Structures are given as C-alpha cells and as structure tokens.
A and B are shown apart, each in its own frame.
Chain A
Amino acid sequence: EVQVVESGGGLVQPGGSLRLSCAASGFPLSGYWMSWVRQAPGKGLEWVANIKEDGSEKYYVDSVKGRFTVSRDNTKNSLFLQMNNLRAEDTAMYYCARGGLYTSAWPFDSWGQGTLVTVSS
C-alpha cells in the first residue's frame, strides 16, 4: 500500500525554524517527484515546493523562495522541508504528496495526513 506520513510540525515563534519530514512506503521513492502542499486554516490548497526523483531539480512558490528548502534521502525513503525565518502566514497544515514517476507533469496521487505548523508568539 502506498503511504506517506508527515511529521515535525509544531508551534514556533516568528523568525524561527522547523524541519518537516515525510516517510514514504509501499513504492520506490527514488523514482518519483515529490511535493509539499499547504493549507492555511479554513483556506484553500497551495503548492509549496517539489523535488525531482534524484534531487537534481527543485522548484518553489515565490512566497517561500530563500526561506524554505526541499530535500530528500532516497536511501531512507524520506522527504524533508527545512523552513527558516517563519512568518505568521506560513501557519498551515503541510501535506507531503507524491507526483509523477520520472515526470513532473503529473498530479498528486497520494497524500499524507498532514502535519500542522503554527507560527505565533
């Protein structure tokens, strides 16, 4: 069974840092593009970042460029999101989502349950 499980969320002060993790199972992570998607409380979905299967390409939404870094460790079947200089507007549920097999032109066909990040003093 394909499964992705996020962890690492929590309460952090503005300007602080947090590292999210996503553990993948049931499929070969090394073949898939992976994304982070977030959802602020009561709001819609926003794509945050994605990373190619081998980590050689990374893309970000403008609002997080220079503050967030996506990475992966295929040997540990894991995806990460390092979030620095956090702002109140980064408060959201963060989802890990599977993209395409050796292609970025594919929707998100498996999602985790999400991990909540709250940025507040």
Chain B
Amino acid sequence: AIQLTQSPSSLSASVGDRVTITCRASQGITTALAWYQQKAGKAPNLLIYDASTLQSGVPSRFSGTDSGADFTLTISSLQPEDFATYYCQQFHNYPLSFGGGTKVEIK
C-alpha cells in the first residue's frame, strides 16, 4: 500500500504569509495526487488534482507542484478563510490513501 507522509503535521502562520505543505509518497504515483481543504465540522473540499491543476472556483493563491515522489501545496498569501486542515490523497493505486493532514493555525 502507498503511504503518504505529510509535513509538517501543524503550523502557525499569519495572514499574508506564504505557506508550504509537503506530501511524500512511499512509491511512484506519477502525478495522481490531489489536495483537499477541510474546515472544522465540514466535508473536505478539492483544491488541486493531478498534482498541479487548480480545481474550478479555487483561488489562484493555491498552487501545487511535484518533484519525483515529493509534492507541495503552496498558499502564496494566507487569508483568514484558509485556516483549516489540508490533506493530500493519491489515486494511483488501491487502496486509495490520504496523508495524515496538516493543520494550519493562526499565529
């Protein structure tokens, strides 16, 4: 089974900061990776798929990149509504799997 390791597990940042979250896959998944945002008490929301394609309606301050087995989600300028937990997910192999999550908190 493919393991996805997210880092950091949590971070504190201020409005306007640039935030970077990393997801490392235990084996090759090509670009079959997605990022989700989940706010407290709500369902996850798809932000990025195919490692770097922005889902329709998602603000352009969100971006994704990949370098081999390492994937990165970047928020260029953190906004108040971006404080949430972020998950990566691979859809390359079964069982489908998620990273452990990164909680972005207000500094």
Contact = CB atoms under 8 A, between A and B. Distances in A.
Nearest to A46: B98
B89 A105 contact: no
Contacts of B91: 104-107
A114 B38 CA distance: 13
18 contacts: A44-B87, A44-B98, A44-B99, A45-B44, A47-B95, A59-B94, A62-B95, A95-B43, A105-B32, A106-B49, A107-B34, A107-B36, A107-B89, A108-B36, A108-B44, A109-B49, A111-B43, A111-B45
B43 A47 contact: no
A30 interface: no
Interface in A76-117: 95, 104-109, 111-114
Interface of A: 35, 44-47, 50, 59-62, 95, 104-109, 111-114
B74 interface: no
- Determine chain B's interface SS by DSSP, over half rule: loop
A62 to B, nearest CB: 7
Contacts of B44: 45, 95, 108, 111
Interface of B: 32, 34, 36, 38, 42-46, 49, 55, 87, 89, 91-92, 94-101
A59 B95 contact: yes
B84 to A, nearest CB: 13
Given A44-B98, A59-B96, 5 more contacts: A44-B99, A47-B95, A108-B46, A109-B46, A109-B55
A50 B49 contact: no
Given A45-B87, A45-B89, A107 B95 contact: no
A87 to B, nearest CB: 18
A105 B92 contact: yes
A8 B2 CA distance: 31
A113 B43 contact: yes
B43 to A, nearest CB: 4
Contacts of A44: 87, 98-101
Nearest to B34: A107
